[in-house]
Structures are given as structure tokens and as C-alpha cells.
A and B are shown apart, each in its own frame.
Chain A
Amino acid sequence: MNSFRNLFPAIASGRARTYLDNAAMTQIAKPVTDRMAEFEADGRSNVKRGIYPLATRANESFEAARASVAAFMGAKDKDEVIFTSGATAAINLVAHAYGAGLKSGDEIMVGEGEHHANIVPWQMLCERKGLELVVLPVDGDGHLQIEKMVDLISDRTRLIAVTHGSNVTGAVTDVRIISNMARKRGIPVLIDGAQRAGHGPVDVASIGCDFYVLSGHKMFGPTGIGALWARPEILQDLPPFLGGGEMITRVSFDGTDYAPPPHRFEAGTPPVTQAIGLGAAADWMMGLDWAEITTAERELTQSLLDVLNQHKRITVWDPMGVAAGKVPRLPILSFTVEGAHPHDICEVMGGEGVALRGGHHCAQPLMSAFGVDATTRASLALYNDETDIEAFDKAITRMLKVLS
């Protein structure tokens, strides 16, 4: 049995059954809940203001969590990391703060296969400021057509926002090439790492991007917490997004002076326990052998593909055919079944104990590019093993019979 399963109570107990909806939310790891419970029970206090011992310890725990997340992301300094409520909030923060300096006619480039969280905030910014949204298309297997980027970049391009890994197909974007091309032209790049973060630490320095976002609930951490990493020289000059306590140095009715980053972008009491939980998730993940885990995830992905490819009614929207182990990819795959709708598939599969997700996966432009309304998605995490594949195989066979 996969040794990680015992660290996830819902997996170890069997309550989560065959959990293959990890791209939506991973299960939470026991080292994470332990640290959160410890803080709530013995260390609870607000942060950033109090000077009594409990508050001092709470603040130290909070800032230690920031340092852990910074290390997970490959940041040089913990103050390059801003806690947000998730990747969506982090992208919205950038859209507002960085977008404040943009002018009518400027352009934002996004990928066609993005999650709505990396489309809609930019559309809203375009509406507010009279900007143009430029779309970098995907090819037939869901990969961004990076070769078209040069032609789509103009002297008005002000930001490029792309995913590190597709939440629909598992296709991994070559973010280093994109960042390198953009940097030569002085264009900042934002990477949506929400899916990628659940599969090991990242290194913003080697990627060469300017903004990187992630969510705790997709990397074995709690809900309601995420992080934005931003290049410090950019962060230093950005105006705040939300106003309130904790983000100022002095307030008067004549005006307000804002605190330096990261506090300038963390108005109000932060989700302290969740931030500590995210830090615990980052610490735990950094201690794992990701080469070994990645190999195991790829083998299981291949097994999933093998199951699906047995059936003529099933089409896999796979970014590299069945070569799961040969090309960088996340253990996420989507499929359609002739004559069966994804919600009906998920209903039957769920009844068999297999948790999948059906629908547009908040990626409707990608669905349009594929010419489908919806797909069914299976997504793996480090605690999945062959027993899950066996259950998936049986449930697929039954689903095809029920929905014939």
C-alpha cells in the first residue's frame, strides 16, 4: 500500500473511497492539521500588533509559515510572499495592483486553456481600464502554442498570464521559455501554479517569472489560503489592492502611508491558522522525494490511460497520446464518453465509490477549443495507488453498461 495514505485520515479510513478529484481539492495531510490544531489550542492570538508573549509567538509562527511558503516557491526572501485567500484572490490582487498602472490600449495576453480564474480578472481589468485581451491559442491537445507568442506580442503588451499546468488535460506549460521570451521584451509574466503546486516545490528563480500564485487546498493544505510570490522590485512599487488595518504605516484624514510589502497587500486580520497550515504543507512537501513521487504519479497516469483506452466509446483529451511517462505532464486527464454526459458519468462513478469531476472545469474557452461542452476528469495525488486504478477500472466498466 502507498505509505502516504496513512497521513491522510479520509484516505486511510476509506471515507474518501477512491478519491480522484485532487485537481479540485486534495485531502489535507495530518502534519498540516496537527500544526493548525496546535496553534488553535495553544498559540492562538492575532498577529502583527500584539507584544505580549502569546502574540509574539503567534506572529513568529505566522512569519515562519511565510518563510516556508517562500522556500517552497524558491523565493529569495520571505517578504516576497503575500498570503491571499487562494490563487484566485492572488490573481485578482495582481490584476488590481499591477493593473492600476496600465492605460487604455495596453494589452494583457492570456492562454486559451486557462482556468476562469486566470481569464475573468483580466477581462474585468480590461473593462475597467479600456485594455485589450489577447489570447494565446492552444493546439489540439491542449498545449499552448508558444511559437505564436512572438507574433501576438506587441509594443502594448503589458503582462502575460499563463498556467503552469492545465487543470483539464494535465498539459504542462514550458513556463521557462515563455518567461525568457517575455523578459527579453520587458513584459512581466504571471504563472498560475494552482495545479502544479500539488506535485512538488517550484522555483520561481529558475522559471524567471514575475508573479506566481498557488492555493493551499490543492497542495494538501487548508482551504481559504493561498499565496502570491512577486518579484520584489515590482512588488515594491505596486499600490495596495485592499485597504484596512495592518497594511499602513500611518493614517490621518490628510492621507495614509502604506506599509512595505508584503503587509501592504494583507489588509485586515489574515487567516492566521490557515497560513500556518499552508506553511506546514510546504514544509512537509519539501521533505519528500519528488523524483520518486513523480515517477509513481506518471505510472498511475499511464494505468488510468490504459483503462480508458480499452473502451471504444471513450476519447481521452490527452496532451501527448498515451506517452504519459515521456513528456512533462501533471497526473490529470479528461475524457468524454460517446452517448454519455459527464454529470451522468460522475453520478454513476460516484455511486461506485469513485470521485471524479464532470463539467467544464472552469475552462469554458478550452472546452470550446476542443469542441465539447464538458469532460469528465480524473486527477491523482501522491496518496493514490493501484487500488484506486482497479476501482476506477471496475467503475468505468459498470458506468459504460449503465449509460449504454
Chain B
Amino acid sequence: MSAADDIYDAAIKDLAARARNMGRIEDADCSHDADNFLCGDRVTVEVALNGDAIENIGGKVRGCMLVQAAAAVIHGAAPGKDRAVLAEGITQARALLADGTPATGDWEGLNAFTPVQGHKHRHDCVLLPFEAVEACLADTDGTD
């Protein structure tokens, strides 16, 4: 096994495959395109809200396996939860990538990305869908 192969284990592949099931949301309360300007990957996120609760998350992922897998984690964890849970998600994702802090609670699925911690050049791939959702929700409450 080469140094790169640890990223592409069964858990990541399984998550990435699930991203294909996200689907689009026609009546979303917000949508946002997030681009990785270095590589051109793009995540389009659509969020339907019910008050402060996330009713559904959809969109389109044009990116690598890590981008797809991260989008799938969000799609699996956030619907039905308060929007604040997404802020917790990105905090846990950053901590996991920075120093290996295990993700907990709603975001345990992030632990699939533990092998990515040693591949700093790929951290942005994991964070791109989170930043897309963060920017999308910011559009709904007037914050930047």
C-alpha cells in the first residue's frame, strides 16, 4: 500500500457513493456555490429550513471523492436538526483534520476522514461542503 491509499478506504468510498443520492431541492430557502479556486471543484448546496430546523439538504457535488464523502456526511447528519448543529459540524471537522480530535455525537461519521489528517493538501476537499453550507445559511440570516 502506498502513502496515498489510506485515504481511499471502504468507509470513504461508501460515503462518496452516497453523495449521489443527495438530490436537488427546488424550493430551497437558500443555495450557495462554493468553489475550490485551486482545483475548480464546486459544491452547490441547497437547504430547506423549517424555522431554525434544517428540513432537508440537497445540491450537486462536482469534486473529488473526499468532497463527495464530506457532502454525504452532512446530508446524513444535519436534516431534522437545529441549524446550530452545522456550526458544530464544521468545528469538529476542522479539529479532526488539525489534530485528530475524534468527532462525536451527530458528527461521528466524520471519523471516516481520520486518515486524511496526514494529507494537509486535501483538507480543503473535506471542508468545502461544510463551508458551502455555512455560507448558504449565512445568506438566510443576514450575516456574512
Contact of B2 with A348 in the complex, beta carbons under 8 Å? yes
Contact of A403 with B8 in the complex, beta carbons under 8 Å? yes
Contact of A351 with B62 in the complex, beta carbons under 8 Å? no
Contact of B4 among A351, A364, A367 (CB under 8 A): A351
Contact of A341 with B63 in the complex, beta carbons under 8 Å? yes
B96 CB-CB contact with A under 8 Å:
no
Tell me, rounded to whole Å, the shortest Cβ–Cβ distance linking B107 to chain A: 23
A30 proximity list for chain B (CB < 8 A): none
The size of the chain B interface, using a CB distance under 8 A, is 19
Contact of A374 with B4 in the complex, beta carbons under 8 Å? no
B34 CB-CB contact with A under 8 Å:
no
Contact of A344 with B65 in the complex, beta carbons under 8 Å? yes
B97 CB-CB contact with A under 8 Å:
no
Q: Which of A268-276, A292-300, A326-334, A352-360 contacts B (4 or more CB under 8 A)?
A: A352-360
B41 proximity list for chain A (CB < 8 A): 343, 373-374
Contact of A348 with B62 in the complex, beta carbons under 8 Å? no
Contact of B39 with A347 in the complex, beta carbons under 8 Å? no
Majority-rule SS of A interface residues: helix
A residues 337-377 with Cβ under 8 Å of B? 340-344, 347-348, 350-352, 358-360, 364, 367, 373-374
B8 proximity list for chain A (CB < 8 A): 344, 348, 402-403
B62 proximity list for chain A (CB < 8 A): 373
CA of A383 to CA of B47, assembled, Å: 52
Contact of B3 with A341 in the complex, beta carbons under 8 Å? no
CA of A343 to CA of B64, assembled, Å: 6
B residues 22-73 with Cβ under 8 Å of A? 38-42, 62-66
B3 proximity list for chain A (CB < 8 A): 351
Tell me, rounded to whole Å, the shortest Cβ–Cβ distance linking A385 to chain B: 23
Which one of B5, B38, B42, B119 has the greatest number of beta carbons of chain A within 10 Å?
Answer: B5
CA of A348 to CA of B2, assembled, Å: 8
Contact of B125 with A402 in the complex, beta carbons under 8 Å? no
Tell me, rounded to whole Å, the shortest Cβ–Cβ distance linking B120 to chain A: 12
CA of A378 to CA of B7, assembled, Å: 23
Tell me, rounded to whole Å, the shortest Cβ–Cβ distance linking A117 to chain B: 15
Contact of B40 with A347 in the complex, beta carbons under 8 Å? no
Nearest residue in B to A395 (C-beta to C-beta)?
Answer: B2
CA of A403 to CA of B38, assembled, Å: 22
Contact of A359 with B2 in the complex, beta carbons under 8 Å? no
Contact of A348 among B4, B39, B122, B125 (CB under 8 A): B4
Contact of B5 with A374 in the complex, beta carbons under 8 Å? no
Contact of A343 among B2, B42, B125 (CB under 8 A): B125
Contact of B122 with A347 in the complex, beta carbons under 8 Å? yes
Nearest residue in A to B17 (C-beta to C-beta)?
Answer: A339
Q: In the complex where A343-B39, A374-B39, A374-B40 touch, is A350 in contact with B4 (Cβ < 8 A)?
A: yes
B66 proximity list for chain A (CB < 8 A): 344
Contact of A360 among B5, B40, B65, B122 (CB under 8 A): B40
A348 proximity list for chain B (CB < 8 A): 2, 4-5, 8
A360 proximity list for chain B (CB < 8 A): 39-40
Contact of B64 among A344, A352, A367 (CB under 8 A): A344
Contact of A341 among B2, B38, B64, B119 (CB under 8 A): B64
Contact of B5 with A402 in the complex, beta carbons under 8 Å? yes
A340 proximity list for chain B (CB < 8 A): 65
CA of A340 to CA of B4, assembled, Å: 15
Contact of B63 with A347 in the complex, beta carbons under 8 Å? no
A contact residues vs B (CB 8 Å cutoff): 340-344, 347-348, 350-352, 358-360, 364, 367, 373-374, 398, 402-403
Between A and B, 5 residue pairs with Cβ closer than 8 Å are A344-B8, A358-B39, A359-B38, A374-B40, A398-B2
